[in-house]
Structure formats: structure tokens, C-alpha cells
Amino acid sequence: MLPASNRLRRSDDFRRAVRSGRRAGRRAVVVHHLLPGPGSSAEPARVGFVVNKAVGNAVLRNRVHRRLRAVMAAQLPGLPAGSLTVVRALPPSGSSSYEELAADVQGALQRVLTAPVKPASAPLESSPQQAAPQQAAPQQTAPQAAPKDGR
């Protein structure tokens, strides 16, 4: 079970992690992970889950949610302090075993945690196609039909 201090509850936090964080997908899950900003390292890592109706009926969704919570409780010590993580269950998660879900979550987490950070201020390299100015092709217009009322 995840401690209350490690649960992601506010929709703004979910939205921020999904929109601004890194994403890695596997067969049964997609993991969104937002690294902490400056000054937020005093907060614990927080985790949230999204299991929608495409996964299955309520019993199946709750089972997937419980399994994902258990997997993330084991992964919690490896997450950076202050980080936000959202685990989104995909429809195949309903038929996945605990071991398959754990492998998918671990693989996706490993990818988002070890992905290189791209510097925002790095200049873009221009390719030969970008360097040459592109000329617009002349557009051909079809002759317009005369109005039916004879004008």
C-alpha cells in the first residue's frame, strides 16, 4: 500500500505530470514521470494511477489498480524525491498477470529515469533540406464553371 504522503490526488498534479513529464509506454502501461523542480526535493515522490473503463469492468479495474499500487510501492525508494509519476493502465493490463505488469512498469520507469535530458537552449542542426530554400510549386487552378443563371 502506498503511504498517504506518496499518493497523487490533485488533478493539477496529474495534468502537470502527463503534459510536462517524460513518457514511456509498454504493452500494458504508460508511465508519465515529471522530475522535481528546484526547491521541491523536500517533498516525497508521489504516484497516481489512471485505470479507465477500456480496461474492463469495475472488478477488473480495481484488481489492476491494486496490482499497480503494489508494484509502485516496491519502486518508490528508487524514485527521486519530489517527482510526480502517473501510471496509466492500457486495455491489455486487464489480462496481464502481476509479474507482467511489474515487468512493464519497471521497464517503463527505467526508460523515463535514465533517458538523457535534452538541453532546451541547444541550437538545432540544420539538415541539407532545411538549408536550401524551398520554392513553392505553382498552383494550377481549375477553370470555373459559368453561373447557371447566365450572369
Per-residue pLDDT of 60-106, as tens digits, reads 999 999 999 999 999 999 999 999 999 999 999 999 999 999 999 99
- Write the single-letter amino acid at 129: Q
Place of cell 528546484: 38
CA distance 10 to 42: 19
Q: How confident is the model at residue 19 (pLDDT cuts 50, 70, 90)?
A: very high
User: pLDDT value at position 37?
Assistant: 76
pLDDT number for residue 123: 46
Does this model's pTM top 0.95? no
- pLDDT tens for 115-128 read 765 544 444 454 44
Q: What is the mean pLDDT of the chain?
A: 83
pLDDT of residue 38: 75
pLDDT of residue 151: 55
- From the number of C-beta atoms within 10 Å of its C-beta (0-12, 13-18, 19+), residue 148 rates as exposed
C-alpha span between 65 and 24 (Å, rounded)? 19
Q: Are 25 and 108 in contact (CB under 8 A)?
A: yes
